[in-house]
Structure 1
Amino acid sequence: MRLNEVQYTDAQPVDGYGPGFFRIGGKVFEGATAVFPDGVMGWGGFEDTETLIARASSVDVIFVGTGAEIAHLPNDFRTLVEASGVGVEPMSSPAACRTYNVLLSEGRRVALALLPV
């Protein structure tokens, strides 16, 4: 089996996560976090659509990590974010991190909005 090291562009992969935190690009971020090609920032959860909409033009899809388990997205949240022209895909936060890293390594235009596990 041949192993290749994954090369990322300027975007930062998720290195790890744990109770209440995410490690992204070697730095630890506490609480809910949004990850876009232009950087990592705090996210105010489902009530904070503005943080996601402001950067939506730089990506095609936002993976929404809903915590330890997958959960339905609030209708208002989904409607507002999708109206900005970006797809929204809910999944558990661990699955969102893995999916994001794989697609990021392929050069895809993806982002994350994560609730902690």
Structure 2
Amino acid sequence: MKLHLTQAAGLHLITAYEDDYVAVNREKYPGNVLVLPEKVIVDWTQADSNSLSAESLQPLHALDVEVILLGTGPCLRFPPPELLHAFLCRGVGIEVMDRPAACRTYNILASEGRKVAAALLLA
């Protein structure tokens, strides 16, 4: 699905997504991608929504953000609560949603100047 929005200068925004990629500023990324307003990190994990572990979420702990949007693929799949607890203990919000909702929500929050990350799983 192609997203239509006003480009905010200097921000990495999600411009499209399909089952096999996410496009950030029109550049397609075919694997799991971590999108922040100032950068894109490709292949941040090899996990899918069924195999998430504390180790696979470790790269997210180093981020300096207020909220992480965890896009679990085309369908909403909640990871075990103990995986999310570590973020909440540090005061970082983590919202689990399907990938389309995470993409849309990320663009809104990034455009508002929020410190947000979209951790997107393709499957």
TM-score (norm 2): 0.78
Task: State the Cα deviation string for residues 39-94 of structure 1 (Å, max 9, x = none).
Answer: 11122143322211111x2x110111111111112223212333343100011100
User: Which letter does structure 2 place at the counterpart of 1:51?
Assistant: P
CA–CA distance in 2 between the matches of 1:9 and 1:53?
A: 27
User: Which letter does structure 2 place at the counterpart of 1:75?
Assistant: P
Structure 1 unaligned residues grouped into runs of 5+:
none
Query: RMSD of aligned C-alpha atoms?
Result: 1.8
> What percentage of aligned pairs have identical amino acids?
35
Structure 2 unaligned residues grouped into runs of 5+:
none
Greater RCO (Cα-Cα under 8 Å, separation 6 or more): 1
Q: Count matched residues.
A: 111
List aligned pairs for 1:34-49, cutoff 5 A.
34-41=34-41, 42-44=43-45, 45=47, 46-47=52-53, 48-49=56-57
User: Which letter does structure 2 place at the counterpart of 1:10?
Assistant: G
8 A Cα contact 2:21 2:28, kept in partner = yes
Asked whether 1:53 is paired with 2:87, we answer no
Judged with a 3 Å threshold, the aligned counterparts in structure 2 of structure 1 residues 102 and 37 are, in CA distance, closer, same or farther, namely closer
TM-score (norm 1): 0.82
Judged with a 3 Å threshold, the aligned counterparts in structure 2 of structure 1 residues 37 and 105 are, in CA distance, closer, same or farther, namely closer
Judged with a 3 Å threshold, the aligned counterparts in structure 2 of structure 1 residues 37 and 84 are, in CA distance, closer, same or farther, namely farther
Asked whether 1:88 is paired with 2:94, we answer yes
Q: Which structure has the highest strand share of the two?
A: 1
Of 76, 92, 110, which aligns to 1:104? 110
Shift of 1:7: 4.3
8 A Cα contact 2:32 2:120, kept in partner = yes
User: Which letter does structure 2 place at the counterpart of 1:22?
Assistant: V
Aligned counterpart, 1:12:
12
8 A Cα contact 1:49 1:80, kept in partner = no
CA–CA distance in 2 between the matches of 1:26 and 1:52?
A: 24
8 A Cα contact 1:49 1:81, kept in partner = no
